[in-house]
Amino acid sequence: MLRSRKRSNALRKGASVVLSAIIVAATTLTITVAALSFSDSVLKVQLDVSEYEQAKNMLITLADMIEDVSASPLSAHYVRFNMRTSRPCFVSATYDVTVMVSGQAVIQGKTGIVEVEGGPLVGTVDMNPLLGSDCLIVNDVSKPLARVYEHQSNGAWITLDYSRVRVTNLGCFYYYDAGNGLSGYLNAVRIAFVNLTIGAISGSESLDIVVRSFPTVLKTSVISSNNVTVSVVLNGVRTEQLTVVGLNTVVVGGIQKPVIGTIIQVLNTEVVVTSQ
């Protein structure tokens, strides 16, 4: 009888040890699985955020490349974009841009945009400028013509657009046109517009985005006014205006000469974005 009780107690102790081991193992396994799941989620967030930051740098680099090739006709550059959860979007003819000088249209063009949608785990603010400013006329040669910004629209987006023109006061110089019998000192104003178009886009995971420029179309005209008013209309709704005030006289060799008007140079450059 005594032996039976001892044997029963031993079995109970053995069962308790086994049960405790099972509970400890199950708890450890649960904690391990939860930790792995959490670390996997954190890793996915970090990867999405890292890819989104890379996309920001890629679009800023692309903006610089577009401006560079627009100043060098028939040139090209490319940038590589690696995709995992981000989604690039290329949209042609997004904006209608009309440029008028003293009431006369000198440019009527369209320009596209390049966008990148961040992964599902990426968030951003409503609006955050990354490059350039929200204007239609850029009159400072040190400022970029492009605008790159991130914004919230059912997800995190980064957008690159060229929906503006650059207006530059080139100063005053002597002009002689024997054919039209015109000679004298003129102010000079340059208006530059980049028509961003979208070509064939194909690829997955890794995308080589190429920008190519075509020959620049240059038009010149002379007006009798020394002050030039440039107006830019976007999509027929938004308007911005700038008046370039020119010289009325210029001193040459100690003698004051009259300035008889303004010569206007209009540069229209087409840049195509493609993956080929």
Residue 91 lies in a domain: yes
Average pLDDT over every residue of 184-189: 95
What is the mean predicted confidence (pLDDT) over 254-271? 94
Q: What domain range is 120 assigned to?
A: 43-274
Instruction: Note whether residue 25 is domain-resident.
Output: no
Mean pLDDT of all residues in 111-130: 87
Q: Is residue 13 part of a domain?
A: no
Q: Each residue of 140-170: pLDDT tens digit?
A: 999 999 999 999 988 899 999 999 999 999 9
Residue 263 has pLDDT above 50, yes or no: yes
Tens-place pLDDT, residues 14-45: 556 556 666 666 666 666 655 555 455 655 56
Mean pLDDT of 58-69: 94
- Establish if 20 belongs to a structural domain: no
pLDDT reported for residue 193:
95
Q: What is the pTM of this model?
A: 0.81
**Is 154 among the domain residues?**
yes
What proportions of the chain, in percent to the nearest 5, are helix, strand and coil?
25, 50, 25
CA-to-CA distance for 65 and 81, rounded, in angstroms?
A: 14
Taken in order 168, 169, 175, 180, is the CA torsion positive or negative? positive
Q: Which range is least confidently modeled, 44-53, 54-63, 89-98, 261-270?
A: 44-53
- List the one residue out of 188, 195, 137 whose CA is nearest residue 166: 137
Measured distance CA(124)–CA(60) in Å, rounded: 17
The Cα 214–Cα 199 span in angstroms is 13
Share of the chain above pLDDT 70, in %: 82
Per-residue pLDDT at 245 exceeds 60: yes
Please name every residue paired with 89 in a beta bridge, in sequence order, or none if there are none: 115
Q: Of 198, 210, 196, which Cα lies nearest the Cα of 70? A: 196
Strand 255-274 relative to strand 182-198, pairing: parallel
pLDDT at 10 over 70: no
Ramachandran assignment for 212, one of left (phi > 0), alpha (psi -120 to 50 degrees), beta (any other) = beta
65-77 pLDDT, tens digit per residue, is 999 999 999 999 9
Question: Is it the case that residue 90 has pLDDT exceeding 70?
Answer: yes
Phi/psi for 163 (5° steps) reads -85, 55
pLDDT reading at 253 higher than 70:
yes
Residue 54 belongs to some domain of the structure: yes
Number of compact structural domains in the chain: 1
Question: What is the average pLDDT value for the chain, to the nearest integer?
Answer: 85
Say if residue 4's pLDDT is above 90: no
Task: Give the single-character DSSP code of 142.
Answer: T
Residue type, 117: E
Q: How much is the pLDDT for 2?
A: 44
- Give the phi and the psi of residue 37 in degrees, each rounded to 5: -65, -45
Tell me the per-residue pLDDT of 194-240, one tens digit each, with 9 for 90 and over.
999 988 887 667 788 999 999 999 999 999 999 999 999 999 999 99
Say whether pLDDT at 113 is over 70: yes
